[in-house]
Structure 1
Amino acid sequence: MDRIALIYRKKLNGRHSIERLFSPMDNLSNINRVELPYDLTSLASAIKLFLFALKIKEKTIHITGDVHYMAIFLFWKKIIITMHDCNHYEDLTGIKKKVIGLLWFRIPILISKKIIVISPFVKEQLQKHFKLDENKIIVIPNTFNKIEQDDTIGKQNIFEILVIGTKKNKNVERLLEAIKEIKNIQLQIVGKLQKKQINLLKEYKILYSNHVDISQKQLCQLYNSSHMLYFASTKEGFGLPILEAQSCGLPVLTSNTTSMPYVAGFGALLVNPYCVKSITSSIIQIISNKDLRDELVLKGYSNVNRFGESNFVASYTKIYNSFK
């Protein structure tokens, strides 16, 4: 097999999900990991990225995500792009949406040989907005970093709910509305809190701790010390925290929309993310029903086998081999 250049975005604090996802590929002998020195933010950065691209010798290029525009600077190569979602694009309006649509999606899609998507939902998004050739798009679900169960980490008497992410789609405000009347709850929130979220936490007198830019070890400790994962987002391209929680025996509450039912399988309690009453009743079910918690845990253990690292590597290796 010819050498493959895996293109990663510029390294920044708090931006590491794609890098972790593709880390198993770095162990392959034919892979050259290429980290971009710049983001595309101006004409000057575009010129610098093009000059950087000229130094990449590999004939086959795999753009691992986010920086789809690099296909433009490598147009004469064989291009594979992994697209993780269109969520940011869908939230844009006006001229900015047109520019992002052109540089991040339309031209890269036209130039590329294959587009890999991480879930059937992302495939639907791309087909809806950009009408891809069915033969060009392939679904390869993400693998994930297994969270080892650590029985030495004790759980508190207070019911601790782990919340991963604080952006708008993570649906934190509805969670706060849902639990404001439930006693003996504490939130472990990973991600920088927004002002509105802090104000609601204070107004509803909700106990919480906030964790920003934490290590993988600290994240594992939070999974093991919590009683439940809340991941009822309004929209997700995939949803790695679902699998991370399931792998360490943590009951999961997630959404019945977009990619989340696909990822969760039968190992989670599904909820309408727009219905506060439904979120409240589901959390109360998990808190009060030990049999339900045990059932979710057992089904979660079974579900994560669908997303094993070996399947992930084999699927991408098959794509690479097709470019010989």
Structure 2
Amino acid sequence: MRHTAVCLNGRFSGTLQPTGTQTSAFHTFDAILKAERNFAIVVFADLRFPGVNDWRDIPKTKVVPVPFSTWSRPRAQLWEQLVLPRAARRHGCALIHHPLNTSSRLRLGMKHLVTVHDLNFVRHPEWFSLSFRTWMMLTALPGMRSASYVATVSDHVLREVRTTGRISPAKSARIYNGCKQLPATVEVGNESNTILALNVWQPHKNLARLIAAFRLLRVDFPTLRLRIAGRLQAQFRSGPSLAAMLQEPGISVLGYLSEIELAQAYKSAHVFCYPSLEEGFGLPILEALSAGTRVVTSNSSCLPEIAGGAAILIDPASVPSIAAGLREALRETPAERAKWITKGKSVAASFSWQQAAQSYLSIYRKLLATS
């Protein structure tokens, strides 16, 4: 029999409190499945992940339940390497789309499309645990190099994939993520003395410098508050001890936020600060722009590309620069702030999951045509 279906690797769905890359993978697949197409798609995913169960009602879609959320990370990784290719083949698939950097090295005559979010594990191995970076070097790089096609989420990552990853321009392209629609919330007032930071526990998120900049600002803004949201992620190495810094006046740790809580946090903050040393896309800055929050972010990696001129850019390696950017946002007049918020919403609206889905579907059709 001729295999004509596409398989979507939903291993990301094992994380029931999704952050940036898992959220991006879900919305990419969601838009692909809901788009018009003339071929079947088979999705291997955990039905407990928010929104996955709804996919079972979409025409030309088969969802194969896999209990990723009950498995250890090593078990899920081995499933991706050894079980997924055979299962996809049994379901009549000619192509597997892997949305989060890693892919099956076992090909079984199928085409493989890999979406790469960053190469931080190559460029900055010191940020990661030894076990995580070893696994990535054994799976992500070889899988990328042997893939039929590689998509990246920004031009910044595309350049890295073609240089560090040695991927041919003929089999690689940039496909931007979209900006997810935040849920409607009760109207919340903007708190002019609040800075929000999100998912800053990884070393490259630069939390220590952000807190140092916040400390400087408290001299001029004594009632200023810094709210830190997001969950810890085990694959990253612990940075310097931050326990004492987190106890400083004005700092509160919110933990993981639901989508509604996150939307409220964005809308109530006066400034969203994202001073990362390295990013592949930077979805939170788009979410903040979409929510009408002023953004201060880094002048490096993909962040100027994604911010589209709607954010205040700072040098993430410089505490005075971070403080100066935040001070500028805090001192803007209402008219200046309104102008930038309008621009920010326009930038965020230009990133569409539907547009991303059409780009992926075009690649699917090309690869299926040569299967």
> Under a length normalisation based on structure 2, what TM-score does the superposition of the two structures give?
0.77
Give the match for residue 212 of structure 2: 177
Give the match for residue 195 of structure 2: 161
- CA distance in structure 2 between the partners assigned to 1:241 and 1:190 by the alignment: 12
Q: CA deviation at 1:313?
A: 1.6
For the Cα contact (< 8 Å) 1:21–1:144, is it kept in 2?
no
- CA distance in structure 2 between the partners assigned to 1:152 and 1:51 by the alignment: 48
Give the match for residue 23 of structure 2: 17
- Within the candidate set 41, 58, 73, 2:106 is matched to 73
Distance change in 2, residues 1:47/1:215 (3 Å): closer
Q: Aligned residues, how many? A: 317
Q: CA deviation at 1:248?
A: 1.4
Give the match for residue 46 of structure 1: 78
Q: CA deviation at 1:52?
A: 4.2
- Cα offsets for 1:299-320 (capped at 9, x unmatched): 1122123212221121111111
- CA distance in structure 1 between the partners assigned to 2:145 and 2:108 by the alignment: 10
- CA distance in structure 2 between the partners assigned to 1:47 and 1:174 by the alignment: 39
Give the match for residue 305 of structure 1: 349
For the Cα contact (< 8 Å) 1:115–1:136, is it kept in 2?
yes
Give the match for residue 64 of structure 1: 99
- Within the candidate set 101, 105, 125, 2:160 is matched to 125
Other structure's SS at 2:187 match? coil
> Under a length normalisation based on structure 1, what TM-score does the superposition of the two structures give?
0.88
For the Cα contact (< 8 Å) 2:81–2:103, is it kept in 1?
no
Is the counterpart of residue 100 in structure 1 residue 136 in structure 2? yes
Is the counterpart of residue 89 in structure 1 residue 113 in structure 2? no
Q: Which consecutive residues of structure 2, in runs of 5 or more, have no partner in the other structure?
A: 46-65, 233-237
For the Cα contact (< 8 Å) 1:13–1:213, is it kept in 2?
no
Identity, % of aligned positions: 23
Give the match for residue 143 of structure 1: 178
Other structure's SS at 2:177 match? coil
Give the match for residue 318 of structure 1: 362
- CA distance in structure 2 between the partners assigned to 1:48 and 1:254 by the alignment: 35
Is the counterpart of residue 201 in structure 1 residue 236 in structure 2? no
For the Cα contact (< 8 Å) 1:146–1:248, is it kept in 2?
no
- CA distance in structure 1 between the partners assigned to 2:115 and 2:340 by the alignment: 31
- Within the candidate set 285, 295, 302, 1:259 is matched to 302
For the Cα contact (< 8 Å) 2:314–2:325, is it kept in 1?
yes
- CA distance in structure 2 between the partners assigned to 1:131 and 1:225 by the alignment: 44
Whichever residue aligns with residue 103 of structure 1, its letter is T
- CA distance in structure 2 between the partners assigned to 1:185 and 1:103 by the alignment: 45
